[in-house]
Amino acid sequence: AQKITQTQPGMFVQEKEAVTLDCTYDTSDPSYGLFWYKQPSSGEMIFLIYQGSYDQQNATEGRYSLNFQKARKSANLVISASQLGDSAMYFCAMREAGTYKYIFGTGTRLKVLA
Amino acid sequence: GAVVSQHPSWVICKSGTSVKIECRSLDFQATTMFWYRQFPKQSLMLMATSNEGSKATYEQGVEKDKFLINHASLTLSTLTVTSAHPEDSSFYICSANWRDSYEQYFGPGTRLTVT
């Protein structure tokens, strides 16, 4: 069965520092997609970054980058130069093979300290 | 582009009544819409997947007679919580995508409180 694991329930980071949020996944399908979403206290799900299983390079979107280690089945999110507005819940998700369904991890709550 | 709206953003209803939540794709035709439920400080739990013009596919453990989903058009899906009870109080989020799109686009969510 496919599974997403986020082992860090909460993280603190100093403003302007970089932070890595961990995500590991389990699937036997060679074709899959990995996503990171940010959920602030308002509840909306904000798309951050996407990595396809066949992508050769790590995805980057502005201050966000995805450290994709395929052999280790990890897809860690790196946020550089943290800002106070980055304080939120972060979810890792995987698109289920053969469908458009997502499997979500349990999330990591990030708090950026001034 | 790819905006999804939900209405209402929050609703309070009395136990035993029914409440309908709308999910609309504003600038694209959504071939598939998803409904999630999220309890405080927990992850999103997929309730059901709906395709336009066909019956919704419910996840295991989700009562289809309690959570009625209708996907009548390519831009609108509705979730009706029937005979709501306090334990149905939750944050309900919809998402949508179009054929061959790898990404789901999320609505802003609806907070339901049943008193």
Q: For B48-78, how does the pLDDT look when each residue is reduced to its tens digit (9 = 90+)?
A: 999 888 889 999 999 999 999 998 888 999 9
Q: CA B14, CA A111: separation in Å to the nearest integer? A: 36
Q: CA A39, CA A22: separation in Å to the nearest integer? A: 16
Q: Where residue A114 falls among pLDDT bands split at 50, 70, 90? A: very high
Count the neighbouring beta carbons within 10 Å of the beta carbon of residue A26.
12
Q: CA B13, CA A113: separation in Å to the nearest integer? A: 38
User: Which chain A residue lies closest to B43 (C-alpha atoms)?
Assistant: A106
**How close does chain A come to B45, measured CA to CA in Å?**
8
Using CB atoms, pick whichever of A33, A43, A104 lies closest to residue B91.
A43
Tokens of A48: 């951050």
| pLDDT on residue A58 | 95
Residue A2 has pLDDT above 90, yes or no: no
| A3-62 residues touching B, CB cutoff 8 A | 33, 35, 37, 42-45, 47, 50, 52
Q: CA B79, CA A27: separation in Å to the nearest integer? A: 31
Q: CA B24, CA A68: separation in Å to the nearest integer? A: 34
| pLDDT on residue A87 | 98
- Contact in structure between B47 and B36 (CB atoms under 8 Å): yes
Residue among B51, B4, B7, B8 at smallest CA distance from B26: B4
